[in-house]
Amino acid sequence: MPSLEISKPEYAGQHNLMGGRSDLEEAKSVNNRFNSPFVIVGPPGVDENSVAEMLKAIGTQASTAGDLFPKVAHEGPCRICGETRMLTEEHIPPRGAFNKERGRTVEVGALLSREELEMPDEGEVFQGGISGFTLCDDCNNLTGTCWGREYQEWARRAAWLMRSQPQLPPEVDETPGYARFPSVTFKEVFPGRLVRQVLSMMLSISGSAELGQRFSDLRELVLGGPARPLPDPLRLYFLLYGSSTARICGGERGQAWWSVNERKLRRILSVDFCPLAFVLLIEGPEIPALGVDISSFTTWDTDKQGEVPFSNLPLGFGHKPWPADYRSRGQMLADRVELDGE
């Protein structure tokens, strides 16, 4: 994986993000640019060159979208509470966070062999946003009522923030480097609710009830239990995401993420859906360069409102199926030139 230390281009200035109806229209206009999300379920990836080889050697363990997002109601273990119940449809992310358009699911295999950066124009079309029958009725209602709304607030503000820049995301995407907002403050927000929504999404995409069993704090937080730190070695990272491609990497043990530079293996789950991206580290050392560490949001009470300043908040993109590859198209082309030059 590339290192993420360069910060170019930077967005100038300081941004204070308040809520309000007027933001919604702005956010909608951003969404109109990004109304065709793809769902990609990443392979257990290492780096770009070795993934295809590795998959051939071990046989693919990449989950298909069908496993992660069952399309019909059925009885099974709820991915939050673990009880065997009739499962109901859950949108990931919430519908109100721009997740209601039609899109296309691209299978991992179709992406691995491609030289081009553009998405293949093939794959199963779905309507009405990304969703699956993953949660029991009680858990679905609780998360939707208590936490989903806050996620929408963050998505709206982030969309407004991107929309208000001199360079819009498609233009930044063409630029080599790693874009960051030097100073952004989310005001009048409930971080304790946002983080519970994000964790509920991670449990949903983990594909079973196993992750919630292994880390019972996750389950208890999502179900409204008292604030507490995330258990080790879990860490949660946040960044802004400017691609129309939605990339969701799940599975019971997440996806392998091998850092060539550090020679270290990690396992992560991630949800990248414009305008927000979240990565949950479930195994391996911390990844401070990946995004902003918001693990401490779980120590906020759900009724505590406040403001959250971020410095150097990254704006990432998604062109490849491997999780946490947030390089811009411009950076990917620059990397390719460098490789070819060797």
Question: Quick check: 139 binds Zn ion (CB under 5 A)?
Answer: yes
Q: Using the rule CB under 5 A, which residue among 136, 158, 248, 269 binds Zn ion?
A: 136
Residue with smaller CB distance to Zn ion, 55 or 136: 136
Residues in CB range of 25: below 8 A, 6 or more apart: none
Question: Quick check: 222 binds Zn ion (CB under 5 A)?
Answer: no
Question: Quick check: 256 binds Zn ion (CB under 5 A)?
Answer: no
- Which x/- pattern over 52-91 shows residues binding Zn ion (rule: CB under 5 A)? --------------------------x-xx----------
Answer left, alpha or beta for residue 324, where phi above 0 means left and psi between -120 and 50 means alpha.
Answer: left
Q: Judged by CB under 5 A, how many residues of this single chain contact Zn ion? A: 5
Task: Give me the least distance between CB of 135 and Zn ion, in Å please.
Answer: 6
Residue with smaller CB distance to Zn ion, 137 or 262: 137
Please state, in angstroms and rounded to a whole number, the distance separating the CA atoms of residues 192 and 304. 7
Q: Identify which of 267, 219, 283 has the alpha carbon closest to the alpha carbon of residue 77.
A: 219
Please state, in angstroms and rounded to a whole number, the distance separating the CA atoms of residues 282 and 234. 5
Residue with smaller CB distance to Zn ion, 82 or 123: 82
Task: Give me the least distance between CB of 81 and Zn ion, in Å please.
Answer: 3
Residue with smaller CB distance to Zn ion, 88 or 185: 88
What φ, ψ does residue 29 adopt, rounded to 5°? -70, -30
Q: Identify which of 239, 242, 234 has the alpha carbon closest to the alpha carbon of residue 274.
A: 242
Asked if 41 and 250 count as a contact pair (C-beta separation under 8 A), the reply is: yes
Residue with smaller CB distance to Zn ion, 81 or 184: 81
Residues within window 301-330 making contact with Zn ion, judged by CB under 5 A: none
Residue with smaller CB distance to Zn ion, 40 or 139: 139
Residues β-bridged to residue 241: 316
DSSP letter for each residue of 249-278: E--TT-EEEEETTTTEEEEEEEEEETTEEE
Residue with smaller CB distance to Zn ion, 78 or 234: 78
Task: Give me the least distance between CB of 140 and Zn ion, in Å please.
Answer: 8
Chain mean position to CA 12: 25
Task: Give me the least distance between CB of 271 and Zn ion, in Å please.
Answer: 19
C-alpha radius of gyration, the chain, whole number = 19
Q: Which stretch binds Zn ion (CB under 5 A): 65-73, 126-134, 138-146, 166-174?
A: 138-146
Contact footprint for Zn ion (CB under 5 A): 78, 80-81, 136, 139
